[in-house]
Amino acid sequence: MKRVFSGVQPTGNIHLGNYLGALKQFVELQKDYQCVYCIVDMHAITLPQDPKELKEHILDVAALYLAVGVDPQKSIVFVQSDVPGHAELSWILTCSSYMGELSRMTQFKDKSKNRDGESIPTGLFMYPVLMAADILLYDTDLVPVGNDQKQHIEICRDLAGRINGKYPGTFVMPEGYFPQAGARIMALDDPTKKMSKSAENIHSRISLLDEPAKIKKSIMKATTDSDGCVRFDVENKPGVSNLLSIYSSLSGVSIAELEQRYEGRGYGDFKKDLVEITVDALAPIRQRYEEIRYSSELKDILKEGAQKADAIAQQTMKRVRESFGLGL
């Protein structure tokens, strides 16, 4: 059976972009793949974190995985730092990576600018190498992620190819898996920026655990334009196009069909219906989350997941050490 791997950072405010770009695919892929889903706490510490909050956010994301429909009977769910192979492989990959290629990563450039003269943490620079280690450690075939991770998948493939060129058969070559609609959900208040966990304005995003009243407010306030026509045109109508992507992705109705449905009806009706679709999609997730988040089962699932993940990771690491001539 082919294998899927993906991860989410435990940094709070998991939003509709994370869901439509990644988590929704996590659930669908369980039918046909052996899936390994990780909570990447070691990536989170590339920026300063409050230790108590981090621990809580790890459990929040674990509960959300299960709440959206990741099934721990079928898939492995675990915390990155519970499996030592991630850090070990990350170092080995570091020795095959180049400063130049890491300097070109747009996420690194974004996160390291505007720091008011503050030092840039090396972890931020090495972030893509740790991500490559996550993926390669599980002989992964497919990586479901949003478009913002494309460059990181490419560097992972470059590293795997480079090392396989020297030591054939060391790594399985992974491929990115991007959804047709929803791969890049934009901020509701500014559709030129992607929806993000860290934006100050809470109405820029819909968090998966938002109450219906908050969802309604955020969507009704969402930036559109003045021509009143529900049409998909990212360049000239980025706000409306973003709302259409969300609508289509949540409802399964194609964008062309939605354009027809709302022809001549203006934004009011369109937004009202989108509120309903979104509230209906998120209500069961919120309910399951409440049931799972403080259950004693949650930590047991993560512990068992870490054992299963570690067993796969150890096999890979044995092969990698052999390839590089490490150890006895």
Sign of the Cα pseudo-torsion (8, 11, 16, 21, in order): negative
166 catalytic, yes or no? no
Nearer to ligand TYM, 145 or 317 (CB): 145
Q: Which residues contact 305 (CB under 8 A, 6 or more apart)?
A: 72, 76, 77, 78
Please state the closest distance from residue 143 (CB atom) to ligand TYM, in A.
Answer: 5
Please state the closest distance from residue 327 (CB atom) to ligand TYM, in A.
Answer: 26
Nearer to ligand TYM, 113 or 325 (CB): 113
**SS3 state of residue 46:** coil
Closest residue by Cα to residue 267 from 296, 239, 291: 239
Nearer to ligand TYM, 22 or 29 (CB): 22
Nearer to ligand TYM, 261 or 308 (CB): 308
Which one is catalytic: 2, 31, 193, 194? 194
Please state the closest distance from residue 295 (CB atom) to ligand TYM, in A.
Answer: 24
Please state the closest distance from residue 307 (CB atom) to ligand TYM, in A.
Answer: 20
Please state the closest distance from residue 91 (CB atom) to ligand TYM, in A.
Answer: 16
Q: Are 40 and 72 in contact (CB under 8 A)?
A: no
Beta bridge partners of residue 258, listed in sequence order:
none
Which one is catalytic: 2, 31, 109, 111? 111
Beta strands in 190-323 (DSSP E): none
221 catalytic, yes or no? no
Beta bridge partners of residue 143, listed in sequence order:
176
Contact residues toward ligand TYM (CB under 6 A) are 5-9, 17-18, 20-22, 40, 43, 131, 134-135, 143, 145-146, 148-149, 152, 183-185, 194-195
Residue 254: which H helix or E strand, with range?
none
Q: Are 231 and 243 in contact (CB under 8 A)?
A: no
Nearer to ligand TYM, 65 or 270 (CB): 65
Q: Are strands 142-144 and 175-177 parallel, antiparallel or unpaired?
A: parallel
Q: What letter would DSSP give residue 170?
A: S
52 catalytic, yes or no? no
Please state the closest distance from residue 278 (CB atom) to ligand TYM, in A.
Answer: 15
Q: Which residues contact 147 (CB under 8 A, 6 or more apart)?
A: 21, 178, 183, 184
Nearer to ligand TYM, 5 or 267 (CB): 5
The rounded distance, in Å, linking the Cα atoms of 239 and 244 is 9
The rounded distance, in Å, linking the Cα atoms of 63 and 125 is 30
Closest residue by Cα to residue 203 from 10, 11, 13: 13
Torsion of CA 22, 27, 244, 258, to 10 degrees: 160
Q: Which residues contact 260 (CB under 8 A, 6 or more apart)?
A: none
What residues are labeled active site? Answer: 111, 194, 197
